[in-house]
A and B are shown apart, each in its own frame.
Chain A
């Protein structure tokens, strides 16, 4: 399939490029289809490839020596992952797995460097994108360091419930545990606590946030 220029146009890295320039960028990109559960990247291995999510959802995570996962990011269509490896040439900082069938665009380090040399505005875009990413990761560090599990879970659920994006993958308790930096067992207890506080309702396969104010109070009270 030809690389979609209308998609590339929406990627912050390529903001401001004209059609001819986007076509040039497209010639340096390759397509990769991944099945549900497919491992795109393994933490610590060398790939030096950045991926853009065209469709599907990718879970980026680190694994502790005890085997506990910490989700760093869930990349949705239009978002990228493993970006840093094309800039510093070092191993993959995290593993990446498809949460459903996904289509990705890949960009190798040498090709990204060619694009940045060829089109200097891309370098400025790169600094903006990476600055945004640093802020997101600083927020994650704060969450993991200072908030108790119930507060962290309340934040995750509230963000998911109020996220207007069309594609919202369902989360198992294991996913929530990985996102909150805790064990699955703790999530079960925390969900019950949130339900008892009147913040959420467990409606079979659905977690319904019924009182956003209480959720915010739980986030702050446990901070």
Chain B
């Protein structure tokens, strides 16, 4: 399964800033709430996280060493 950013709908104020900055058009607003339109296209640029002032969206990184990355 392709990784997508984490969304906490309870924090989303529907401002749509994340939709506006997403270069992959992976995000959309449905009934004023953020959701993924084309989740497979997210390239983890983290721009949505950067602009979200309510902390509703986050892009956490897994941090691994090269040798271990190959095992995942």
Interface residues in chain A, defined as those with a beta carbon under 8 Å from any beta carbon in chain B: 157, 160-162, 168-175, 184-185, 188, 201-212
Contacts and interface: CB of A to CB of B under 8 A. Distances in A.
Given A172-B58, A172-B59, A206 B50 contact: no
B63 A174 contact: no
Given A206-B61, A206-B64, A208-B69, 6 more contacts: A161-B64, A173-B46, A173-B50, A204-B43, A204-B44, A208-B66
Contact of A160 (B3, B43, B46, B63): B63
A212 B58 CA distance: 27
A209 B62 CA distance: 11
B60 to A, nearest CB: 3
Contacts of B43: 204
A171 B64 contact: no
Central interface residue in B60, B61, B66, B68, by most chain A CB within 10 Å: B61
24 contacts: A157-B63, A161-B63, A161-B65, A168-B62, A169-B60, A172-B46, A172-B59, A172-B60, A173-B46, A173-B59, A173-B61, A174-B58, A175-B60, A184-B50, A203-B69, A204-B43, A205-B3, A205-B60, A206-B61, A206-B62, A206-B63, A206-B64, A208-B65, A209-B66
B62 A205 contact: yes
Contacts of B66: 201, 208-211
A170 B65 contact: no
Interface of B: 3, 43-44, 46, 49-50, 58-66, 68-69, 72
Contacts of A170: 60-63
A64 B33 CA distance: 31
Q: Is the interface of B mostly helix, strand, loop or mixed?
A: mixed
A169 B50 CA distance: 20
A88 B47 CA distance: 44
A171 B61 contact: yes
Contacts of B44: 202, 204-205
Given A162-B65, A210-B66, A212-B65, A205 B59 contact: yes
User: Which residue among B3, B58, B64, B72 has the maximum number of chain A CB atoms within 10 Å of its CB?
Assistant: B64
A116 B64 CA distance: 41
**Ranked 5 nearest A-B pairs via Cβ:** A170-B60, A160-B63, A161-B65, A205-B3, A208-B69
Contacts of A185: 50
A171 B50 CA distance: 14
A162 B67 CA distance: 10
Contacts of B49: 172-174
